[in-house]
Amino acid sequence: MATPPNNFFATNVITIPSPGLVTGGNGSIEIPKIKVGTIQDQVMASLDFYQTDTWKSLNPRIFLFTPKKRRRQMGNPGDAWYKSARSSRIVHPTHLAGGNVKWWGGINKYTEGGALILRHTEFQLPTTVPYTWFNLNNLGLNSYEWCVYVDTASNSKRQTTAADFPLPSSNLGGDPNGTGFYVSLGKKVGYEQILPIGFSSQKKKFKFAIVIDNPNATTERPFLIGPMSDAVVLRFKKANGLYGLSFTPDHISKIIT
C-alpha cells in the first residue's frame, strides 16, 4: 500500500466508534473518503489512503448526495397551503425510486405523465485499492436522469435522454418562444417573457461518500456514512452555439450549502 502524505488522515477518513453504532465495545470502523474529479465530462473517482480494513467486509458502496435548499415558512399552521420552515441540508435521493431498501432519503417521485423517475444514486465500489481511478459514469451515473424534459402542449414531464441534445438556449428552462418544450435542471419555470440572461447557468451539485452496513442490526441507523467528497456540478455546456450537459468541478465552493 502506498505511503500517504503528511497530515493526510485529518480529512480522508471518518472513524466510527463502537458504542451505540456497531457491535463490540472497544473497536472502531474507519471509512475512507472518496476523491472525485472530472475528465472530459466524465466523473472520475478513487479512494484515499486508509489504515484498517474492517469496512471492506461491510458491503461498501458509493452513495450520491445532493443539497436541498432552505425553505421559508409558507402560510400559518392550519392553512391548507401551510409548509413549515426547513433548513438547508444534504440528502441521498432514492435509488431508482425503489422502496425495497433499508434506508433512503427522499420519496418515490413520479413525472406528471406517470413514469417513475429512475435515478441511479447508489453504485458498486469497483476497487478498494487507494489512488486507483475508476469512472462513475461507467457505473451508472447518468447526467440525463437529472434533467427534466417538459412538453408544454400536454404539460407532461419526463427525464431527458441523449437524443434530446444538443439544444438552443431558447429551450433551456422555459418556452417563451412557443417551441413546444423545454429542458431544465431546476424546477418547472414556465416563463411568459424572454428568458433572463444567464439562465443557461443552471446547475446541480453532487457529492459522494463510501457507505457501509452497520454491524449493529438493531440500530436505527442501518448505514454508516464516510466523509463527503468534494462537489462536482452538472450544468449546461455550450458548443457550436448549442447546449448539452456536462459534469465539471465545483470552482465556486467546495462545500454544498
pLDDT over 70 for what percent of the chain?
62
- Which residue in 161, 183, 162 sits closest to 174, CA to CA? 183
- As a whole number, the mean pLDDT across the chain is 74
Return d(Cα 206, Cα 247) in angstroms, integer: 10
| Position 174, amino acid | G
- Mean pLDDT, residues 224-251 taken together: 88
pLDDT band at 162, cuts 50/70/90?
very high
Residue 100 three-state SS? coil
pLDDT at position 250:
65
pLDDT at position 111:
53
Asked whether 43 and 135 are in contact (CB, 8 A), the reply is yes
C-alpha distance from residue 247 to each of 32, 122, 207 (Å): 24, 18, 12
* pLDDT of 67 above 70: yes
Dihedral (Cα; 8, 206, 238, 44), 10-degree rounding = 50
Residues 6+ apart with CB under 8 A from 72: 85
pLDDT band at 169, cuts 50/70/90?
confident
| Position 229, amino acid | S
CA atoms within 13 A on the CB side of 38: 19
Residue 5 three-state SS? coil
The single-letter DSSP state of residue 229 is P
pLDDT at position 15:
67
The tens digit of pLDDT for each residue in 217-237 reads 666 778 888 889 989 999 999
- Which residue in 98, 46, 93, 43 sits closest to 67, CA to CA? 93
Q: Which of 165-169, 190-194, 195-199 has the lowest mean pLDDT?
A: 190-194
Q: Which residue has the higher pLDDT, 90 or 188?
A: 90
Strand arrangement, sheet containing 42-47: 34-39, 42-47, 134-135
The tens digit of pLDDT for each residue in 81-118 reads 666 655 556 878 777 754 444 443 344 455 555 566 67
- Mean pLDDT, residues 146-166 taken together: 86
pLDDT at position 214:
83
- Which residue in 113, 90, 58, 51 sits closest to 204, CA to CA? 90
151 burial level (CB within 10 Å; 0-12, 13-18, 19+): middle
Query: Would the pTM of this model clear 0.85, i.e. be above it?
Result: no
Which runs of E-coded beta strand occur in the chain? 13-17, 28-32, 34-39, 42-47, 61-68, 89-91, 122-124, 134-135, 148-151, 156-159, 181-184, 203-213, 223-225, 232-239, 242-249
- Mean pLDDT, residues 237-253 taken together: 81
| Position 97, amino acid | A
